[in-house]
Chain A
Amino acid sequence: MTSIFNMFGKSPIKPIEEHMSVVACCVGELTAFFKAVFAGDWQEAEIVQQKVSALEHDADTIKRDVRTNLPRKMFTSIDRSDLLALFLEQDLLANRAKDIAGIILGRRMVFPEHIIASFMIYFYRSIDATFQARTAINQLDELQEVGFSGKEVRIVEHMITQLETIEHETDVLQIQLRRSLQALENEWPPVEMMFLYRIVEWVGDLADQAQKVGARLQILIAS
């Protein structure tokens, strides 16, 4: 017999938090990856790269599950297209982490000794943005609970503002890092240099992308 129990669909809120948490883990693994790379331990680096890749795959699986469980006929508390857009932004974070690990491992890239310290500062700030985005996304079920209004909204809005500040800081750090790289251009192999620029850009993408997640979240709250 059918019952009206079936009218309650699976809420997409929990999966979106779960997805973001997997994505943040994936990005977080890059810390161990860079440590291995700078120590010249390529074996360890490969193990960590595999982890990053596996986590990116897990995130994809969650995304696919939600998409199949969220047919058009679902009436959700969050607009369906906003929700799917948020998933997409979160997913791009994991993709970028996978790209970074992949290209460094694939090319066995070597970093100029004296930019490593400032690169790590820049990298840590970038992944801070991702973690901040996760903290904000984790408030979604509380937001749902209070019906997207009141004090909870202000708390999340504050988190998003902080996220923007972090992203802006990474921009400043990126400019400094590029300047240091430019000074090395004559002594470093040009092709290697090109890829170093690319890595710097991609690490910056982690912060940009985290900010986009925050922006999507803001749209969700406002709608």
Chain B
Amino acid sequence: MLNYDLVVVGGGPAGMAAALKAKECGVEKIIILERAETLGGILEQCIHTGFGLHYFGEELSGPEYAAKFIAEVAETDIDVKTDTMVLDISETNLVTAVNKADGLLKIQAKAIVLAMGCRERPRGALEIAGTRASGIMTAGTAQKYVNIDGYMPGKKVVILGSGDIGLIMARRMTLEGAEVKVVCELMPYSGGLTRNIVQCLNDFNIPLRLSTTVVETHGKDRLEGVTIAQVDEHLQPIESTKEYIECDTLMLSVGLIPENELTKNVGIGIDRITNGAVVDEMRMTDHPGVFACGNVLHVHDLVDYVTLESQIAGEGAANYILGKGSKETVYVNTTTGNGVRYLVPQRVNIKNENDVKLYFRVGRIFKNAKVVLECDGEIISSKKKVKLAPGEMENVIIPAATLAKMTKDSSIVVRVEE
């Protein structure tokens, strides 16, 4: 059995940032366990630019953004095992992992950072009727085929879902010579970033059809076409609007799901909305010494925010290991008010003596609205926003002074006022 102060599960942007921050805070023995062959996570297949604008102040490709952290990790004494899959985490933070070189590994950790990322929602979850032909895949799988393996997964493409990966792949496939016929979005608004709609669809004249979905797939061997239809206000397809579109590929970009199987096995509490762990302001879960950050905690739209959040988790883990941080713990839950779908962190230790930034997403589009933070019935801040959209993560800060006045019975509410 091996012993480490900190075991980081996942070597993508979240895991690397958490490990580096913990190192910086003085943690000695750290190991990153990564299931892929290299560090970097999904960034390695994101060869488009647009990463790092917030964190580095420059525009980088995914591999470039990852490379900066990979180089930093290499300069430290943080151990890394790639091609290594974590199979289990016990109640006592004993990590079981496996790889070709070491076989079955048992690692006792003082603290653990969960940074497993997320996966794409597959077709089965969508109830699209029709055949089981080849050529139906998630946008991320298609992205790997094109950018990593160097093969075209299709020539005539329909994309369902306007999540960011779908939008990026619309452009990518077009640049590789494929014809992207249409991007269909079930909701009346896109789930992707505005900049991606402009740069990936509008610039290439790819139509985006809102309130439209794929109702049936056709073709016995390879996909030959799909039937699309507009949906009513209950998201049910409208029979009279059915339309057949010839295509050999259907790419799905219909949502990301944090990969929390390990988390659930440990018995850690999960937020029903984020599908990630319930955490405090240092990103510690309800299992002492286990932290979570990045897309395994809640799905982010920008990797820059993943990095920032993971640094908090890294610092939290370091405090836990080194016995630093707030001496006292009094938790107050954060509450979603009008228009707010979720809040991370879900609870705040009011004794922590620092400002706490709450991240949130709205449930629908708001125009000219106000984001209001209300603590114990008092409006702490009210910020005007021209537009709020589910696709863009927002935040609001609880000042340390406000926290200092709170008791265990206090309330923290974030809401949207129209």
The answer to whether A and B assemble together is no
Q: Which residues of B does A touch, CB under 8 Å?
A: none
Using a CB–CB distance below 8 Å, which chain A residues touch chain B?
A: none
